Amino acid sequence: MRSPDEKKKEAIFEATIKLVNEIGFAAASVAKIAKQANVSPATIYTYYKNKEDLLVSSYIEIKKRKASASMDGFDESSPLKESLRKVWDNSFEFIAKNKDYFQYVEQFTNSPYHDLVDDSQSTAIFQPFVLALEAGAKQKIIREVDFDILTAFALHPITILSNVRASKDVKMTRKNIAVAFEMAWDAISQNEN
């Protein structure tokens, strides 16, 4: 059971997501967020230095939750393709259940606030997966390329396909997720030609 302070912090987090998604970063003032969360503005300042800290912290919290959900059931002893498929399936499930979080992340990523983020706080959870990718490259299972290029083909399709504005004509059914996964796997797997 959550303590009263944890409940307040969660209410502030949820209010931040809701208001930013509805009215944007500029219009979502601390006072409006406090009112939505049913707390005083002073309560927000007990958890966050300022609005900027609140917005950045909310983004990092979403990234941590997504990373944790994506890595649920990850087993580094499984074959790499199976491990990547697990991350894909978990990621699509998390996004489908948390469309409001995804909308916030999309807005945040394309805002100046994103420059203030230390991604190490949310990416540490992915470390076992990163190590599995590195091992897969050394074993010639996947291409040995710059890590950003690798993730652009292995993981970024999840973000694009989950974005209803970018992929409005595609329904992310299990079949379509499986087809997209195979295409991503083909892009990163080591060709035996």
pLDDT greater than 60 at residue 192: no
pLDDT above 70: percentage of residues in the chain: 93
pLDDT greater than 50 at residue 115: yes
Q: Is 76 helix (H, G, I), strand (E, B) or coil?
A: coil
pLDDT band of 10, cuts 50, 70, 90: very high
pLDDT band of 125, cuts 50, 70, 90: confident
User: Given the structure tokens 């967020």, which residue do they identify?
Assistant: 33
Q: What is the pLDDT of residue 122?
A: 64
pLDDT greater than 70 at residue 114: yes
